[in-house]
């Protein structure tokens, strides 16, 4: 199973992840940093989540296999 993780302390709040996949990511209100909505990545969504991980300007998102 693939899981997405975020280093919230390093997030700059650009929102690219949310723009690409709002099923998996949102930005918190205060502070405006990434929140993972769904940690387990469905196989059908893997490509779009990989795009969000790659688009993060701060590099705080990562995928891990269990």
pLDDT of the chain, 66 residues: tens digit per residue: 999 999 999 999 999 999 999 999 999 987 899 999 999 999 999 999 999 999 999 999 999 998
pTM of the model: 0.93
Q: Which two tokens stand for residue 33?
A: 């940093």
């Amino acid at each position: 199973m693939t899981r997405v993780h975020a280093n919230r302390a390093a997030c700059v709040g650009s929102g690219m992840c949310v723009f690409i996949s709002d099923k998996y990511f949102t930005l918190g209100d205060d502070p405006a940093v990434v929140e993972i909505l769904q940690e387990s990545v469905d196989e059908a969504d893997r490509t779009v989540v990989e795009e969000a991980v790659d688009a993060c300007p701060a590099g705080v998102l990562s995928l891990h296999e269990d």
